[in-house]
Amino acid sequence: MTTIQDPHQSSPSELLERLRKGQVWLTRTKSVLFHMENAGVGDPLEEQFNLAFITWACYETAYRAVTGSAACIMGFECDPESPILCERCKK
């Protein structure tokens, strides 16, 4: 079971680092799941992916609330292949 740290317990720099690493992990894992046979509901990696996806969105909300930043989480632009984009890049 994955433990999720309360984003409000983290500094802005810790949140930003988690967001960046999380987006990279989500992008890589999306590719792995796409190429797996029989991946889907009930698959442990699929469940971990879904939890990470939701957690990432919560962390971004917390990061933006604390910092007021409207900039891209990745620094310039999110990877268009990523399954999740930050609020700036969604626009």
Over the stretch 45-86, which tens digit does the pLDDT of each residue have?
Answer: 999 999 999 999 999 999 999 999 999 999 999 999 999 999
Total residue count of the chain as it appears in this document: 91
Identify whether 69 is part of a domain: yes
Domain count, the chain: 1
Do the domain assignments include residue 3?
A: no
Q: Is residue 6 part of a domain?
A: no
Does residue 82 fall inside a structural domain? yes
For residues 13 and 49, give the distance between their C-alpha atoms in angstroms, rounded to a whole number.
23
Q: Please report whether residue 5 resides in a domain.
A: no
Please give the residue that has the higher pLDDT: either 19 or 7. Answer: 19
Q: Kindly report the pTM of this predicted structure.
A: 0.83
Range of the domain at 73: 11-90
Tell me, yes or no, whether 4 lies in a domain. no
The maximal CA–CA distance of the chain, rounded, in angstroms, is 42
Residue 48 lies in a domain: yes
Taking the C-alpha atoms of residue 43 and residue 18, their distance in angstroms, rounded to an integer, is 24
* Separation in Å, CA 16 to CA 21, 28, 30, 75, 83: 9, 19, 21, 10, 18
The model's confidence at residue 3, banded by pLDDT at 50, 70 and 90, is: low
